[in-house]
């Protein structure tokens, strides 16, 4: 509890307001991937309920089930918001670091529940309720049979495209994984399982990964330390560079970094290949 109080105490009312404002803007932004998933679930549940109620003249539990899903969404999003306030460092909370990953979890959960509800509900709408007696004649009219057949073909077509797209995406990710920040940190630093307070500086040439806090976040996971920073820019004076190194115990170099090596060669007459080095090892002459 003391750790949560300490993290929350670092956030003054202005910072809390900034986090809250960005959080609300993010969850209502239709460009946010998780929000698109939420809207898709709402659209499907309401549309199928409307077709059943107004066209088929049958009652379904879809609206009640949708309310349940929305309660789960609200509770989970409230939990994410609380996490940003109570358990995430201020600099990461101000950018909602990892929001899409966290929110996507509940979208996948509710997407699965919605699919279960819809499959069960649509099955109850069939003209022939006895499964043993269902055949190609088990339709209320020729029109409903055509609608069923064409809908099945269309859904099969899109399902096939989605499976192929997902498969190709997974193959691409597997081929490209070795070049990701996660793979590089895992290969160099390994996976630590004992909590430590060592201070790590991760040197990376990937500016976008550093600016988005991905390098620092992944580093904290693999190094199992809360004191991990990523940095790409080393254009600084010799005094600033030495002061920077003095703030850390270890330096993790993910790729051969031109400006970092230029500074170490200038100050210590040495350059460094990818690996993990103690600061004392770097600054020794």
How wide is the angle at C-alpha 192 spanned by C-alphas 242 and 283, nearest 5°?
20
Cα atoms in the Cβ-side hemisphere of radius 13 Å centred on 183: 8
Nearest Cα to Cα of residue 275 among 178, 215, 190, 191: 190
User: Residue-wise over 153-189: b if at least 16 C-beta within 10 A, else e?
Assistant: eeeeeeeeeeeeeeeeeeeeeeeeeeeebbebbeeeb
- Please check whether residue 232 is in contact with residue 207, taking contact to mean a CB–CB distance below 8 angstroms: yes
What pLDDT shows up at residue 259? Answer: 94
Tell me: do 249 and 272 sit in the same domain.
Answer: yes
Question: How many domains does the structure of the chain reveal?
Answer: 3
Q: What are phi and psi of 277, to 5 degrees?
A: -130, 145
Do 10 and 51 belong to one domain? yes
**What is the DSSP secondary structure assignment for residue 52, as one 8-state letter?**
I
Tens of pLDDT, residue by residue over 76-113, are 999 999 988 888 888 888 889 889 989 999 999 999 99
CB atoms within 10 A of CB 25: 11
> Of 117, 144, 179, which marks where a domain is finished?
179
Q: Are residues 160 and 268 in the same domain?
A: no
What is the C-alpha separation between 97 and 83, in angstroms, rounded?
11
120 and 68 fall within a common domain:
yes
Domain boundary, last residue among 179, 198, 213: 179
Helix, strand, coil % in the chain, rounded to nearest 5: 70, 5, 25
Q: How far apart are CA 283 and CA 264, in angstroms?
A: 8
One domain for residues 121 and 138:
no
Q: Are residues 27 and 121 in the same domain?
A: yes
Whether residues 114 and 205 share a domain: the answer is no
Pair 9, 121 in one domain = yes
Do 75 and 157 lie in a common domain? no
Residues ≥6 apart with Cβ < 8 Å to 242? 267, 283
Residue carrying structure tokens 């809908």: 151
Average pLDDT value over all residues in the chain: 89
Give the confidence band of 68 by pLDDT, cuts at 50, 70, 90: very high
* pLDDT above 70 (res 136): no
- Picking from 80, 95, 125, the residue at the C-terminal end of a domain is 125
Pick from 224, 212, 229, 213: which is nearest to 186 by CA? 224
Domain housing 22? 2-125
Helices 99-125 & 33-50, crossing angle to 10 degrees?
10
- Rounded mean pLDDT, 154-158: 92
88, 198: one domain = no
- 182-235 residue pLDDT tens: 999 999 988 788 889 999 999 999 999 998 889 998 999 899 999 999 999 999
Q: Between the CA of residue 103 and those of 44, 93, 141, 209, 245, what are the distances in Å?
A: 19, 15, 43, 20, 36
Main-chain phi, psi angles of 203, to 5 degrees: -95, 120
pLDDT, position 230: 95
Q: What is the pLDDT confidence band of residue 124, given thresholds at 50, 70 and 90?
A: confident
Quote the tokens at residue 71. 């309660």
Are 264 and 227 contained in the same domain? Answer: yes
Beta-strand runs (E) in the chain? 200-203, 228-231, 250-253, 275-278
**Is 173 found in the same domain as 116?**
no
CA distance 21 to 58: 43
Q: Which of 272, 281, 280, 237 is nearest to 254 (CA)?
A: 272
């Amino acid at each position: 509890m003391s750790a949560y109080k300490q993290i929350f105490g670092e956030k003054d009312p202005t910072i809390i307001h900034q986090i809250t404002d960005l959080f609300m803007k993010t969850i209502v932004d239709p460009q946010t991937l998780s929000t698109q998933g939420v809207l898709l679930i709402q659209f499907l549940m309401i549309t199928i309920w409307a077709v059943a109620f107004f066209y088929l003249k049958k009652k379904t539990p879809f609206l009640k089930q949708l309310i349940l899903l929305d309660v789960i969404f609200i509770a989970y999003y409230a939990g994410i918001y609380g996490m940003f306030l109570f358990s995430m460092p201020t600099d990461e909370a101000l950018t909602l670091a990892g929001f899409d990953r966290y929110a996507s979890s509940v979208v996948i959960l509710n997407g699965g529940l919605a699919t279960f509800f819809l499959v069960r509900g649509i099955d109850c709408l069939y003209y022939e309720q006895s499964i043993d007696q269902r055949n190609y004649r088990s339709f209320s009219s020729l029109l409903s049979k055509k609608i069923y057949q064409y809908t099945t073909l269309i859904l099969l077509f899109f399902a096939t495209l989605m499976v192929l797209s997902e498969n190709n995406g997974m193959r691409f990710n597997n081929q490209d994984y070795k070049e990701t920040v996660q793979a590089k940190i895992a290969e160099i630093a390994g996976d630590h399982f004992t909590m430590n307070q060592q201070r790590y500086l991760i040197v990376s040439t990937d500016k976008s990964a550093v600016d988005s806090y991905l390098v620092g976040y992944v580093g904290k996971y693999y190094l199992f330390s809360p004191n991990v920073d990523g940095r790409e820019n080393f254009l600084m004076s010799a005094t600033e560079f030495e002061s920077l190194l003095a703030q850390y115990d270890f330096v993790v170099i993910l790729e051969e970094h031109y400006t970092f090596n230029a500074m170490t060669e200038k100050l210590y007459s040495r350059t460094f290949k990818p690996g993990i080095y103690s600061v004392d090892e770097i600054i020794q002459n």
